[in-house]
């Protein structure tokens, strides 16, 4: 019996003694862990014996945890028995689940520190979780076993044992022999990937990347304390942080790129996530996330997120800006009419991807229908040859692969549908927009012909409209 919340109808049991001159009443608690006794005397001269009490307990099946000393006292002084606990069971104790105590910050802080005023502190990032070889990253507290209980009626109440928890160790991390410690195998930074704790090596270069270093290709995080000189390349599967200037170089990161000073001289920067830089001049940035700069001049910026150019100068002049989720700047264009192209919202690349996935799903559905017909034909046969059995298994396997692919594609299609709905509301906002600015929002175009202040551009009723704020 594992349910500890047992409830039964508790009918009072009256036991007569000494010619009906007294009553013995035994009550059992709802959880059957306690029994209470009450003695009611109708005549002061009435006597009660131990046998009377034991008989009353027996008829209520109370057999465990009986207080024999109390029975002696009740025989001597029956008046003390006023719903007094006469038997006490042993309560069950459920075990505690295992748990992990981390010695490191497990939150995702691979971004610059955001100050309360909304500014980004590029000088004091505090996002590298540096550890040394042999450091204990986490401790495991093992689960405890439960202790069974016994009711006053002698029933065993089974307790639940605590559930175990396993370490999720990733790269360059090991588990101690007793299974209770997670230990760093190398010097590096801690990173959570797919809920696993990894230690990623950090490459720190305390000078310029150039002639003395050659091109840099590294799987971990790269920190450059100097500049990146013209013609050189840095590639990383992790973040890249550069304290100096990117001077006609190429930066490629599978995570984010942070450049404390700026980018110029036909540099190229690519990031799977965000790019942050003080300035961008005559260069190209491509990011899957957001791009944040102080000013952008005669550059091409492509990002799937938002373009933020609203710090200090906050100027966008010349070049081509395409930010799917919108652009927020202080000034767009110039008073001399510099051509500045800005696109936000749904673009052809997104629509082509959407169409390609829909077409592939349709093709898979047709293939599955054909395979189902073959399977039906084979399965209705009474006896299959070995060749037919192999053909059936291959067909079933192929169908399963198609189904898995279709499910994955459907998830992507659902995500694209959500993205497209969100992008319909993309907008361009600036304090000043000059003539010469050419806007495209989704599939609509607008050329700015007058100086506009404190303005927001968005698509409404099939055309681009602007509103002052």
Asked if 289 contacts 271 with a C-beta cutoff of 8 angstroms, the reply is: yes
Could you tell me if residue 453 is inside a domain?
A: no
pLDDT at 217: 82
Residues 158 and 210 in one domain: no
Q: 202: pLDDT confidence band, cut at 50, 70 and 90? A: confident
Q: Show the domain range for 394.
A: 348-423
Q: Answer with the residue of higher pLDDT: 119 or 445.
A: 445
pLDDT at 120 over 90: no
Boundary residue ending a domain (222, 256, 289): 289
Most confident of 87-101, 124-138, 175-189: 87-101
Same domain, 189 and 206: no
74 and 109 fall within a common domain:
no
Q: Based on the fold, state whether residues 26 and 68 are members of the same structural domain.
A: yes
Residue 263 lies in a domain: yes
279 contacts 294 by C-beta, under 8 angstroms: yes
148 within some domain: yes
> Quick one: 176 and 214 in the same domain?
no
17 φ, ψ to 5°?
-150, 155
pLDDT of amino acid 114: 53
Residues 6+ apart with CB under 8 A from 116: none
**Do residues 177 and 235 share a domain?**
no
**137 in a structural domain:** yes
| pLDDT tens sequence across 358-392 | 999 999 999 999 999 999 888 888 788 888 888 89
Inter-residue contact 65 to 152 (CB < 8 Å): yes
For the cut 50, the answer to whether the pLDDT of residue 121 exceeds it is no
| Model pTM score | 0.58
211 and 256 together in one domain: yes
Residue 118 in domain: yes
Assess whether 140 and 184 both reside in one domain: yes
139: number of Cβ within 10 Å: 15
Band of residue 107 on the pLDDT scale cut at 50, 70, 90: low
For the chain, what is the domain count? Answer: 4
- Is residue 65, in this structure, part of any structural domain at all? yes
Tell me if 313 is assigned to some domain. Answer: no
Pair (104, 185) in one structural domain: yes
Same domain, 66 and 141: no
Q: Report the first-to-last Cα separation within the chain, whole angstroms.
A: 70
Decide the pairing of beta strands 240-242 and 221-224: parallel
Read off the pLDDT of residues 245-255 as tens digits, 9 standing for 90 and up. Answer: 999 999 999 99
Same domain (yes/no): 183, 120: yes
Q: Single out the residue in 68, 88, 108 at which a domain terminates.
A: 88
The answer as to whether 63 is a domain residue is yes
């Amino acid at each position: 019996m594992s349910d500890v919340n047992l409830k039964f109808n508790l009918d009072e049991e009256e036991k007569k003694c000494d010619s009906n001159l007294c009553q013995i009443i035994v009550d059992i608690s709802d959880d059957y862990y306690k029994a209470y006794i009450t003695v009611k005397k109708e005549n002061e001269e009435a006597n009660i014996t131990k046998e009377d009490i034991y008989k009353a307990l027996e008829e209520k099946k109370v057999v465990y945890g009986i207080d024999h000393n109390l029975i002696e006292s009740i025989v001597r002084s029956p008046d003390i028995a006023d719903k007094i606990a006469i038997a006490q069971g042993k309560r069950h104790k459920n075990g505690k689940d295992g748990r992990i105590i981390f010695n490191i910050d497990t939150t995702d802080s691979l971004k610059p520190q955001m100050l309360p005023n909304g500014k980004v502190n590029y000088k004091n990032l505090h996002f590298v979780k540096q550890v040394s070889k042999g450091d204990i990253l986490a401790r495991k507290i093992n689960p405890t076993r439960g202790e069974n209980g016994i009711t006053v009626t002698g029933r065993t109440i089974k307790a639940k044992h605590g559930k175990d928890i396993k370490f999720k160790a990733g790269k360059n991390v090991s588990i101690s022999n007793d299974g209770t410690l997670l230990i760093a195998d190398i010097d590096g930074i801690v990173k959570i990937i797919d809920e696993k704790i990894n230690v990623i090596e950090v490459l720190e270069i305390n000078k310029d990347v150039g002639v003395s270093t050659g091109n840099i290709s590294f799987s971990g995080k790269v920190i450059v304390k100097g500049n990146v000189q013209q013609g050189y390349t840095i590639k990383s599967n992790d973040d890249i942080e550069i304290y100096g200037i990117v001077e006609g170089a190429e930066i490629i990161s599978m995570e984010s790129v942070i450049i404390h000073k700026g980018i110029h001289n036909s540099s190229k920067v690519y990031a799977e996530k965000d790019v942050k830089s003080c300035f961008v001049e005559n260069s190209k940035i491509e990011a899957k996330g957001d791009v944040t700069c102080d000013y952008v001049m005669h550059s091409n910026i492509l990002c799937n997120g938002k373009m933020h150019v609203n710090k200090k100068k906050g100027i966008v002049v010349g070049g081509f800006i395409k930010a799917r989720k919108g652009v927020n700047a202080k000034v767009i264009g110039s008073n001399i009419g510099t051509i500045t192209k800005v696109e936000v919202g749904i673009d052809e690349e997104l629509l082509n991807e959407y169409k390609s996935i829909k077409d592939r799903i349709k093709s898979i559905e047709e293939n599955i229908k054909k395979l189902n017909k073959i399977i039906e034909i084979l399965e209705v046969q009474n006896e299959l040859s070995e060749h037919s059995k192999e053909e059936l298994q291959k067909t079933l396997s192929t169908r399963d692969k198609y189904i898995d692919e279709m499910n994955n594609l459907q998830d992507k299609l659902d995500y694209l549908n959500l993205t497209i709905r969100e992008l319909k509301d993309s907008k361009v906002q600036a304090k000043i927009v000059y003539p010469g600015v050419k806007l495209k929002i989704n599939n609509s175009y607008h050329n700015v012909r007058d100086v506009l202040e404190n303005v927001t551009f968005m698509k409404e009723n099939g055309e681009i409209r602007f509103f002052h704020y």
